[in-house]
Amino acid sequence: MSRSLVFGTAGLALLLAAGGLLYSFGPDERRARAAPTPPDTTDTSGVYSQRAPSRNGIGKVYMGREISKVMGHRGANWLERPARAEKERPDLLVDSLPLGPSDTVADIGAGTGYLSFRVAPRVPQGNILAVDIQPEMLNMMRERIDERGVDNVTPIRGTVTDPQLPADSVDLAYMVDAYHEFSHPYEMMTALMEDLTPGGRVVLVEYPREDPSIPIKTLHKMTEAQAKKEMRAVGLEWVETKDMLPRQHFMVFRKPVE
């Protein structure tokens, strides 16, 4: 039995919610502004608290962490910036994903498909479910699919609470610089747990809040300890944290095998 792929891009886009300046970089990296969508601070679970929003947050607090504003489709060029390849080494990220050639992979918060298209050749007999909540991002992705003739990347429009994927179908889900923007992280990860196969993995890639030298605004970073706490809250087991990326945590979690 599976949930229908009804609404989508939370691609799990995980984004959706807010407005305002998110990042501040050097001269070779553009400032990305969020879409002018009001943040969704609705608490449907009883696990959040509320406070006056900080400059880059939405005022909604989960397990001690204020949720950040979201980067909207107007920041698409920033996702594709040339400096990203050198400064963040997405090639190392992709090579480090625990993948098999026939795996079903969910790219949650896929955006323009920057990583989806890089992961696709790694699963030639499998497929990439590229989830995002913003239709503009999904349209950009569809154009690239047509241009490149890729046949194993499928855009999915998710919601802020559900990636809208079939239950027990996903071998690996990864979220790159996106989870901290989820307006409903508990609901999203609970839904994703249902979509993972037994033993399925979740890879969380986030800028480290432990390192003040990384030029990213504080709410767009996460500590390893915070990430572990939030994943544990939905039943995911920590497997390992790799440190091969120059700017980001690479944290691997697993759904228990019952």
Could you give all domains of the chain from N- to C-terminal order, each with its CATH number? 89-254 (3.40.50.150)
Q: What pLDDT score was predicted for residue 229?
A: 98
Q: What pLDDT score was predicted for residue 86?
A: 81
pTM of the entire predicted model? 0.82
3-state SS, one letter per residue, for 160-219:
CCCCCCCCCCEEEEEEECCHHHCCCHHHHHHHHHHHEEEEEEEEEEEEECCCCCCCCCHH
Amino acid letter for position 47:
V
Of residues 122, 124, 120, 142, the one with CA closest to residue 132: 142
Q: What pLDDT score was predicted for residue 84?
A: 76
For residue 85, give the DSSP letter.
Answer: H
Backbone angles phi, psi at 12, to 5 degrees: 65, 30
Q: What pLDDT score was predicted for residue 87?
A: 85
Note down pLDDT in tens along the chain; length 258 residues. Answer: 444 333 333 333 333 333 333 333 333 333 333 333 455 556 666 899 999 999 999 999 999 999 999 866 555 565 656 777 788 899 999 999 999 999 999 999 998 899 999 999 999 999 999 999 999 999 999 999 999 999 999 999 999 999 999 999 999 999 999 999 999 999 999 999 999 999 999 999 999 999 999 989 999 999 999 999 999 999 999 999 999 999 999 999 999 997
Q: What pLDDT score was predicted for residue 3?
A: 45
Q: What pLDDT score was predicted for residue 88?
A: 87
- Helix, strand, coil in percent for the chain, rounding step 5: 25, 25, 50
For residues 91 and 248, is the Cβ–Cβ distance under 8 A?
no
The helix or strand, by DSSP H or E, that contains position 94, with its residue range, turns out to be helix 90-96
Q: What pLDDT score was predicted for residue 196?
A: 98
